[in-house]
Amino acid sequence: MAITYKKAGVNIDTGNELVERLKKKLPKIGGFGGLFPIAGTKYNLVSSTDGVGTKLKIAFMLNKHDTVGIDLVAMNVNDLICAGAKPLFFLDYFACGKLNVDRAEQVIRGIAKGCELSGSQLIGGETAEMPDFYKDGEYDLAGFSVGIIEKDREINGSKIKSGDIIIGLPSSGPHSNGYSLIRKVFSDGELKKYSKQLLAPTRIYVKEVLAALAKFNSKERNIAGIAHITGGCFYDKIERILPENVRVVIEKNSWRVPEIFKVIQEKGRVPEEDIYRTLNMGIGMVLIVHSEIALQVKEFFKGAKAIGCVKKGERGVELV
């Protein structure tokens, strides 16, 4: 029987429906980060909040807790840079049934490492001990990140046009999405077998993307859109930044899909569209750039690939 993300217990469409309902009352939400103008200055604050999801279940199984903190930071700061914002500071929320100090310290050391990798400061957090709420040995994480960008310099997709090129930046593995599907596909023994790939920390793209923006966007918005390939992946996350009347065509054979994704798809008999809507398939961040500087941008990032283009048409994403 084919396994889908929905059969594994996660319905992306339901989550999207909630966002659309909220946008009727809160029209400014729905982007990768929320913008807040600082009155009397030339700056906007940009904020993001996220967690690690059920990747934590594998950390619990293996009693390995030193990398999920990096994941937590990455899931937030990678969203901030989709607006072109520089991360400033980070706060965390660590919740458990009974506090294990050694375990919590490992997690928070990982958070501190993630902040170091992203150039942001860990300035505080909350540790919540809630008996009977979590199973013994389990915990949950949430993170909150704030960045800054000059007004009128944010990347919002409005300058994306037909002819632009899609540059894909390689991921370090599944990052922190799709683990409910992964855990449905694999047995406990297989989760342990592939633990190195599955627990690889989410790649933090902040410093290299900010460097690229400084180089290529100093005068014109040559990098017109940035999408963090997380839940909803290629279909939902890229469409989120597109203006009307353009569509993105992604060529699936334009990069080498890492073996772990092939194993997941084959063993779970996951349908093609579902796998590309659930897992990043080796591409963790997408930049949409004007064609005249596409080669320079691709060569700026180690391992980057040109994976598609923008065409005129109905707003959306097509994988071929």
Structure tokens at 188: 């406990």
What are the structure tokens assigned to 63, written together?
Answer: 């009693």
pLDDT, residue 203, reads: 98
Low-confidence ranges of the chain (pLDDT < 70): 7-8, 15, 19, 22-30
Measure the CA–CA gap between 183 and 151, rounded to whole angstroms: 43
For residue 130, how many C-alpha atoms fall within 13 Å in the half-sphere facing its CB? 13
Of the candidates 108, 264, 245, which has an alpha carbon nearest to the alpha carbon of residue 184?
Answer: 264
Distance of CA 298 to the CA centre of its chain: 20
DSSP 217: S
Tell me the two tokens of residue 112: 């501190």
DSSP letter (8 states) at residue 241: T
pLDDT at 28: 66
- Which part of the chain is CATH 3.90.650.10? 165-319
Tokens of 67: 């990398």
> Running DSSP on this structure, what letter comes out for residue 82?
G
Reference 280, options 205, 180, 206, 178; nearest CA is: 178
Closest residue by Cα to residue 16 from 277, 251, 264: 277
What is the pLDDT, as a whole number, of residue 152? 87
Find the angle CA(229)-CA(243)-CA(23) to the nearest 5 degrees: 75
Place of tokens 């490492």: 113
User: In this structure, what token pair is assigned to residue 46?
Assistant: 């940009």
Q: Where in the chain is the domain with CATH 3.30.1330.10?
A: 31-150
Are 236 and 283 within 8 A, CB to CB?
no
pLDDT score recorded for residue 231: 86
Q: Which fold has domain 31-150?
A: 60s Ribosomal Protein L30; Chain: A; (3.30.1330)
**CA 153 remoteness from chain centre:** 22
Answer yes or no: CATH 3.90.650.10 is held by domain 165-319. Answer: yes
Pairing mode, if any, of strands 305-312 and 246-250?
antiparallel
What pLDDT score was predicted for residue 22? 67
172 near 200, Cβ under 8 Å?
A: yes
* pLDDT recorded at residue 27: 60
Gyration radius from the chain CA atoms? 19
Q: List strands edge to edge, sheet with 121-129.
A: 34-37, 43-51, 139-150, 86-96, 121-129
